[in-house]
Amino acid sequence: MALTLRTQLPVEEAARRVTDAIVNGSFSAELVAQSDSRGPDGAQCVTLLFDKYFLRAGNHCALCVNLDNLSGMTKVFAASAGTKTGLFDLFDWGAGDDFEEEVRAAIEG
């Protein structure tokens, strides 16, 4: 469960789009933490951590989104975790993939 995209959007704009789509697109999603780093020559990295309750999975899901422009274009990496409900539960009802796809929709839409 992970998603990697590349976009022409500046890092800050891509981060804003992702945050707006996730937080405003659900009554249970929240931005838990954000970290912004800038380096020489305009290099930038933004890390976003979200939490959202998924009824079908029966628990909360975490989503970490990392955005950087270290290679020139903005790279967006998203990974979800915590979507399984028990020790032997190997199925999350697609909650993690759906959470990651919200990132793709925000960037491409």
**Cβ(77)–Cβ(47) below 8 Å:** no
User: What is the model's pLDDT at position 26?
Assistant: 86
Residue 90 clears pLDDT 80, i.e. is over it: no
What tens digit of pLDDT does each residue of 33-48 get?
999 999 988 899 999 9
Total residue count of the chain as it appears in this document: 109
User: What is the model's pLDDT at position 54?
Assistant: 72
12 CB-contact burial (10 Å; exposed 0-12 / middle 13-18 / buried 19+): middle
User: What is the model's pLDDT at position 98?
Assistant: 81
Mean pLDDT of 52-73: 85
Torsion of CA 11, 14, 16, 21, to 10 degrees: -160
What's the pTM value of the predicted model, to 2 decimals? Answer: 0.86
Lowest mean pLDDT among 50-54, 55-59, 88-92: 88-92
User: What is the model's pLDDT at position 88?
Assistant: 53
User: What is the model's pLDDT at position 60?
Assistant: 78
